[in-house]
Amino acid sequence: MLSGKHPYKVKSNDKMAMFKRIIEKPVKMRPEFSDDARSLLNGLLALKIYNRLGCSDWGAEEIKSHDFFKSVSWSMLSRKEIEPPILPKINDEERIKNLKLDESSVEDLAAEMSNENNNEETKEDINFKRKKAKSKMIKTGEKEYRLFENFDYVREEKAIRKYSPV
């Protein structure tokens, strides 16, 4: 997204070649990327899950505290007090079909979190705990492999054993 190009581009539209490249080759960074951007991308795209940014016990907090985001006020962002620097033009419904941005479901989640809160924990605390639990769940191995069964590409069982960092 930083460069507008896919980090694992291959010469043809051969998806299997692209997936092989993702597993076997490091990401090529553009020279204009800052050190913070390089660090963030390398962290997010780390092949081994235990090295991947956001997959530790800190979950998303690990990503949010990265130097790349040092100028972001996460509390203002969560209150929608920050204008997005870029508003993408969506020309293809296919690109947003998996987004569930229904305002009522956001309100339902807030109400659910409020009920769990019982005036003892903040919504941020609950959200952090949920993300932390999800992070741990994904790290546990083949059992959670099913989490990804609806993705465009899912590694075969043989590849999971060969490449799986867990």
Q: Is 6 among the domain residues?
A: no
Cα atoms in the 13 Å half-sphere on the side-chain side of 66: 20
- The DSSP line for 70-136 is TT--HHHHHTT-S--S-------GGGGTT----HHHHHHHHHHHHHHHTTTS-HHHHHHHHHHHHHH
Q: Is 9 among the domain residues?
A: no
Q: What is the extent of the structural domain holding 32?
A: 15-163
Q: Is 59 among the domain residues?
A: yes
Per-residue pLDDT of the chain (166 residues; tens, 9 = 90+): 677 777 777 777 788 888 888 888 888 888 888 999 999 999 998 888 888 999 988 899 999 999 999 999 999 999 989 888 777 666 666 666 666 555 555 455 455 555 544 545 555 665 555 554 444 444 444 445 555 556 665 555 544 444 444 4
Q: Is 2 among the domain residues?
A: no
Q: What pTM was computed for the model?
A: 0.51
**Into how many domains does the chain fold?**
1
Whether the CB-CB separation of 56 and 135 falls below 8 Å is answered with yes
Q: Is 8 among the domain residues?
A: no
Q: Is 10 among the domain residues?
A: no
Q: Is 50 among the domain residues?
A: yes
Q: Is 7 among the domain residues?
A: no
